[in-house]
Amino acid sequence: MKMTFRWYGSQMDPIPLRYIKQIPNMSGVVSSLMDMPAGALWPTERIQALKQEVNDAGLELEVIESVNVHEDIKLGLPGRDEYIDNYCKTIERLGQAGVKVICYNFMPVFDWTRSDLFKPRADGATVLAYDQAVIDKITDPQDFADRIQQGAGEFEMAGWEPERMAEIKHLFAQYQSVSHEDLFRNLRYFLEAVIPVCERYDVKMAIHPDDPPWDIFGLPRICTNRDNVTRILSLVDSPCNGLTLCSGSMGSNPCNDIPAMVREFGSRGRIHFGHVRNIKFTGPGQFEEAAHFSADGSLDLYEIMKAYYDIGFEGYIRPDHGRMIWDEQGRAGYGLYDRALGVAYLSGLWEAIQKDHR
């Protein structure tokens, strides 16, 4: 198991690499070229510069999160082949730079979604939170876009800066006729093109679950449960077609058994990346993110880490979203302090499980 840490690059992340290097048991960072639009071809020189910067800090760069998939690919539009070609060339360049895993998602329009970025807790920390009742109030995509552009600050649409929200109405209209089956079909088309390139350059694709794992805003979502993951992995039956198992995303539906999924898909060598975090259920369709410590949330991280150990997991793990604690300012969910505590907790669990099995 290799412990990693999400880092957004020196231009966008206030956390210096030297701080990350000081976290015990840290092997590398998970990063990306954050300013590259979906569908663009990543320049070789920028990939190499990012790798050099990370390596100079004594860390590895073996996981990229994410190379975003263009909406034309998800929609199955005629222009998708150009974007898929760029994706294939980017995989080639990343593989040549030593990248082993690409985390990506196939969520229509929005990435992870929250209704509150800084929900206060009794201890003074703030957390990311989700309330389906708040999301359900949004019935007009244009009104929604206008509210985001005006800085209403009510919602977190990851990767959607206010100026991009102008695209929302058009995208919603395009997706009106797209079904779950269409999405599966378009994902198959994408994977059939990129997986042979992955096999050639020893790069593994690892799809991230939908977050939350159910349809939102009337948009279909297909990476939501065990059966859907099974189907996705069978679309192209290759070890390079794998999963990023995010305990918080998939686990926000209490019907999903995360340790069982680790054992099922991990034993088949199809989990390439693990996001390990905790959440607390607060009501139907409601959850907030919690400390990694099992007793703080609704998920049993001991059982999750034990499942990874039991299947002999040798891939990459990172603590995922953390609380904002100790008055830290910055990107919601991605502060240094609580995620560093998360590394310590997960590493401690791993060491204890190892010693129990000697």
C-beta separation of 198 from 186 below 8 A? no
Which pLDDT belongs to residue 95? 98
Q: Which member of 131, 320, 338, 345 is catalytic? A: 320
Residue-wise pLDDT tens digits, 6-61: 999 999 999 999 999 999 999 999 999 999 999 999 999 999 999 999 999 999 99
Residue 256 half-sphere exposure, CB side, CA atoms within 13 Å? 27
C-beta separation of 274 from 315 below 8 A? yes
| Whole-number Å distance between alpha carbons of 5 and 13 | 12
Q: Quick check: 168 pLDDT over 80? A: no
Q: Quick check: 224 pLDDT over 60? A: yes
pLDDT confidence tier of residue 154, bands split at 50, 70 and 90: low
Q: Quick check: 145 pLDDT over 70? A: no
Burial label, 320 (beta-carbon count in 10 A; 0-12, 13-18, 19+): buried
User: In the predicted model, what is the mean pLDDT of residues 294-303?
Assistant: 95
Share of the chain above pLDDT 90, in %: 83
C-beta separation of 258 from 251 below 8 A? yes
| Whole-number Å distance between alpha carbons of 285 and 135 | 10
Q: What domains lie within the chain, and their CATH numbers?
A: 2-112+179-278+301-356 (3.20.20.150)
Q: Which member of 88, 321, 338, 345 is catalytic? A: 321
Whole-structure pTM value: 0.94
| Whole-number Å distance between alpha carbons of 28 and 337 | 17
| Whole-number Å distance between alpha carbons of 81 and 277 | 36
Burial label, 217 (beta-carbon count in 10 A; 0-12, 13-18, 19+): middle
Which pLDDT belongs to residue 125? 96
Strand partners, 288: 129, 280
Which pLDDT belongs to residue 59? 98
- The answer to whether 175 is a known catalytic residue is no
> Count of residues for the chain?
358
Q: Which member of 70, 72, 116, 208 is catalytic? A: 208
| Whole-number Å distance between alpha carbons of 47 and 89 | 12
Q: How many CB atoms lie within 10 A of CB 280?
A: 17
| Whole-number Å distance between alpha carbons of 13 and 57 | 15
Q: Which member of 246, 272, 316, 338 is catalytic? A: 246
Q: Which helix (H) or strand (E) holds 132?
A: helix 132-136
- The answer to whether 334 is a known catalytic residue is yes
- The owner of tokens 């994977």 is 191
Q: Which of 230, 259, 255 is nearest to 243 (CA)?
A: 230
- The answer to whether 320 is a known catalytic residue is yes
Residue-wise pLDDT tens digits, 49-98: 999 999 999 999 999 999 999 999 999 999 999 999 999 999 999 999 99
- The answer to whether 275 is a known catalytic residue is yes
Q: Which member of 275, 292, 309, 316 is catalytic? A: 275
Q: Which member of 87, 334, 338, 345 is catalytic? A: 334
